[in-house]
């Protein structure tokens, strides 16, 4: 996925977040107006294009989207520390309840690659819910720990391989990236027209929308001019007489 396409995808994510949160309440009439319906179908189209490009998480990892709800980046060390917390707490619960089998789901991810550590963290979050241990973890001082684990996994950026390559691989050859980015641009243009018509004179809303939907340009390096040949300029000078 080329850099301009990544920038468009990121703008699409910001625009979608804006449409679904900042102004959503203005498009909920009963019965729905034509504007409400158009707004909803445009959001659906925008969301589908984002999903076809790999989804929110993958697009964020490909360049770091500046959203109000942007996930904090997580290091490998932080991820392992959370795994240790889960492991230690599960061990305490297993001992208290006489359920040693609990620990099968909370083994430490030693000597695993980054993606496998991330998968283990997500598996621990799921195990807490599947084994109905949420309250037990809360009693040990870890409120909403499954969400904490999942958010850390989402924010984890692996050093293994190229994120841009991962995004291209996820999209696959069967989906035309230019077509999807055109869909995102079209949806943003539609929402832009609607918001200027629905919120005329609302500088705060329109200013926030402009910031959210702006597609950043990729800087282009201009080639350096060639150095002039040594000995001065060339040209049709007169040869000295002999």
Residues of the chain with pLDDT under 50: 64-72, 159-175, 234-240
pLDDT at 230: 62
CA-closest candidate to residue 135, choices 93, 96, 103, 104: 93
Q: Where are the alpha helices (DSSP H) in 100-238?
A: 114-130, 134-139, 145-155, 163-171, 177-198, 203-213
Cut 0.95: pTM above it: no
Distance from C-alpha of 104 to C-alpha of 230, rounded to nearest angstrom: 75
Q: Which residues fall within 8 angstroms of residue 109, CB to CB, at 6 or more apart? A: 80, 83, 116, 117, 120, 121
Residues in the chain: 242
Distance from C-alpha of 232 to C-alpha of 115, rounded to nearest angstrom: 59
pLDDT at 54: 81
Distance from C-alpha of 45 to C-alpha of 132, rounded to nearest angstrom: 37
In this predicted model, what pLDDT tens digit does every residue of 146-158 receive, in sequence order?
999 998 888 876 5
Distance from C-alpha of 66 to C-alpha of 219, rounded to nearest angstrom: 18
pLDDT at 166: 45
Distance from C-alpha of 28 to C-alpha of 39, rounded to nearest angstrom: 10
Distance from C-alpha of 53 to C-alpha of 142, rounded to nearest angstrom: 35
In this predicted model, what pLDDT tens digit does every residue of 20-52 receive, in sequence order?
998 999 999 999 999 999 999 999 999 999 988
Cα angle vertex 169, ends 45, 167, to 5°? Answer: 60
Tokens describing residue 50: 């984002």
């Amino acid at each position: 996925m080329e850099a301009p396409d990544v920038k468009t995808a990121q703008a699409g994510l910001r625009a979608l977040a804006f449409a679904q949160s900042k102004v959503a309440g203005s498009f909920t009439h009963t019965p729905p107006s034509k504007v409400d319906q158009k707004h909803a179908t445009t959001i659906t189209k925008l969301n589908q294009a984002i999903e076809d490009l790999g989804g929110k998480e993958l697009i964020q990892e490909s360049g770091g989207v500046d959203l109000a709800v942007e996930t904090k980046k997580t290091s490998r060390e932080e991820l392992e520390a959370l795994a240790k917390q889960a492991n230690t707490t599960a061990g305490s619960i297993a001992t208290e309840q006489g359920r040693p089998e609990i620990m099968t789901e909370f083994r430490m991810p030693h000597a695993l690659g980054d993606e496998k550590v991330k998968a283990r963290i997500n598996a621990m979050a799921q195990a807490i819910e599947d084994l109905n241990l949420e309250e037990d973890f809360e009693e040990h001082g870890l409120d909403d720990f499954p969400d904490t684990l999942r958010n850390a996994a989402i924010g984890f950026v692996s050093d293994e391989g190229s994120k841009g390559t991962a995004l291209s691989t996820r999209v696959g050859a069967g989906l035309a990236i230019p077509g999807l980015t055109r869909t995102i641009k079209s949806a943003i243009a539609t929402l832009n027209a609607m918001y200027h018509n629905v919120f005329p004179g609302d500088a705060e809303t329109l200013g926030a929308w402009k910031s959210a939907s702006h597609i950043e340009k990729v800087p282009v390096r201009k080639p350096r001019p060639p150095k002039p040949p040594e000995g001065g300029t060339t040209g049709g000078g007169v040869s000295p007489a002999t």
